[in-house]
A and B are shown apart, each in its own frame.
Chain A
Amino acid sequence: MNWLLQLYPARWRDRYGEEFGAVLASQRASVGLVLDVLGGAIDAHLYPQIQHSHSKPIKEEDTMTLLMLQRCSAGGPKLSPRDQRIASLVMIFSGLVMASLYIGLTKIYHSAPAVQALFYASFPALALIYGETAYLRKRPWLTQVFILGGGLSGLYLFMLAVCVIASKL
């Protein structure tokens, strides 16, 4: 029955192959068992969990590193559909605010570098707003304001510097 293991991806076999073989050998051969293993192999190809997992048994120091990383990354890249919806709505709303602001400022100041900088900064700003709203949502509001505000300010100042230099050329 161990030939069924060959149906699994190589990386999966490297990680679980031996112990899987031991469990497989302990079970009586049946159609149900073959179907279960086939289903598992298809799942391992379609949803390769192994790339997110550890290739070796975890040591004490690895666990500490993992816990620190989880703390720093606010839950990591795994976003719930709700987080994604909220981040999308915030991004759309911010896009509308920036567009209105740009139109209003253009009417008053025409193509001043500060207005042009707002235009150029708005595209990366929307991506920044989406990313930071999604990943920082569970952080304290002060952290969110500091990181998001700092990021947006830095981006705008960079674009402003570019537009000022471009206007002088």
Chain B
Amino acid sequence: MRQTKDDAELDDFGRFSEPALLILVSLAEEPRHGYSMTEDIEAIAGVRLGPGTLYGALARLEARGLIEALKSEDRRNPYRLTTLGERALRARLDSMMAVARTGQRRLANA
């Protein structure tokens, strides 16, 4: 996949790459807390993230400034996408779409 500067923010996530992308997609709609994210991700991608995977990815995203925690009265901290996170998500989705379009076109010509 061709990378842009914004897209590179999602590099070095290792096995947390896919969960991190799913979290960003989930937060693109509205701020959510951990449980709400797992429910939403299961609904959109059919994958139920375990808490170990979810928080491994969340910690990485937060450390890179792609998401941020909001204040909360109860123990469930909601998170929201930062401007940097939104840019990184857009860039990654754009490059994924470009690959998907190329794949579809080639399959159609095969």
Contact = CB atoms under 8 A, between A and B. Distances in A.
A68 B25 CA distance: 26
Contacts of A149: none
B103 interface: no
Interface string A4-31: 0000000010011011111110110000
B1 to A, nearest CB: 16
A23 B68 contact: no
A50 B68 CA distance: 13
Given A19-B34, A63-B68, A52 B51 contact: no
Contact of A16 (B53, B55, B60, B71): B55
B95 interface: no
A37 to B, nearest CB: 4
A154 interface: no
A23 B35 contact: yes
Interface residues of A, number: 34
Interface of A: 12, 15-16, 18-24, 26-27, 32-33, 36-41, 43-44, 49-50, 52-54, 57-59, 63, 66, 70, 80
Interface of B: 8, 11, 33-35, 38, 50-56, 58-60, 62-63, 65, 68-72, 75-77, 82
Given A19-B75, A37-B52, A57-B72, 5 more contacts: A23-B54, A32-B50, A40-B55, A43-B52, A49-B62
